[in-house]
Amino acid sequence: MPRFFLDQDQIRNRFIVLTGEQAAHMKVLRMREGELVTVCNGSGTDYRCRISDVSADQVCLVVEHEEPSDAEACVSVSVYMAYAKGDKLEHVIQKATELGAAEILAFPSSRCVVRLDGKTREKKLARWQKIAASAAEQSGRGMIPAVYALDSYEAALGRAAQAETALFFYENEQSHTLSSALSAKLTSVALITGPEGGFTEAEVDSARDHGMQICTLGKRILRCETAPLCALSAVMFAAGEY
């Protein structure tokens, strides 16, 4: 069943009017009067709707039933990824959304090649959030993960350390594995991975000072766009999502 995300204020008196891109998308799908669609408010509630009218510039829906979304993970996972070259971060945003991440946060570190100024960051954030919204629709999510661009490496550490389980992945760690770091019951998890050149020893020491667990993802060196998705998948498996 097709799925669309709307702001809560667009869902009024059990009647919804789609206009603009949303109405155009509905027409591309060749939806007709009487067919069913799912509308989400982006906060975990699904509305099953029936198309009541299709006109030149809008599509009207009638809400028949509402219920909590059953597609959200039982564990809240925040994915922190250092800025990377090209479209690597966009790839991670899309796939992390599909895998169930609660939020994705980008941050600068000393070996990052990419640096964002104010205007560039605003444009990137708008694009990244749109990618997350599209991936959430496609994968049947009940929520759209928020995407953030943090100002500093220290800001990322300070925020991530507030999670119940805060994990920092470093290619030179040998003994502390991801499996040993995960508890029997997971509620909130933060995952931090580095840029193409990895983290410096000083950055690792700072993460440890913030109370983060320094972990390995195995004997092989993973690309910066592979590591966060690997860690996220492992956490979801450990939480019983698979």
Q: Is the pLDDT of residue 59 over 80?
A: yes
pLDDT given for residue 12 in this prediction = 75
User: Does residue 194 sit in helix, strand or coil?
Assistant: coil
pLDDT, tens digit, 9 for 90 and up, residues 102-111: 999 999 999 9
In the chain, % of residues over pLDDT 90 = 64
Mean pLDDT over 39-46 rounds to 85
pLDDT given for residue 27 in this prediction = 76
All structural domains of the chain, each given as residue ranges with its CATH number in brackets, are 3-68 (2.40.240.20), 76-238 (3.40.1280.10)
pLDDT given for residue 30 in this prediction = 83
**Tokens coding 52:** 């009541």
Amino acid at 172: N
Identify which has the larger pLDDT, 154 or 7.
154
> Count of residues for the chain?
242
Give me the sign of the Cα torsion angle 222, 228, 229, 234: positive
pLDDT given for residue 55 in this prediction = 85
The model scores a pTM over 0.85? yes
Q: Is the pLDDT of residue 44 over 80?
A: yes
Mean pLDDT over 152-172 rounds to 96
Q: Computed over its alpha carbons, how large is the radius of gyration of the chain?
A: 20
Q: Cα(227)–Cα(221) distance, rounded to whole angstroms? A: 9
Mean pLDDT over 2-27 rounds to 80
In the chain, % of residues over pLDDT 70 = 100
Question: How, if at all, do strands 146-149 and 103-107 pair?
Answer: parallel
Q: pLDDT-based confidence at 171, cuts 50/70/90?
A: very high
**Tokens coding 199:** 């983290």
Written as one string, the DSSP assignment of 28-94 is HTT--TT-EEEEE-SBSEEEEEEEEEE-SSEEEEEEEEEEE-S-S-SSEEEEEEE--STTHHHHHHH
pLDDT given for residue 4 in this prediction = 82
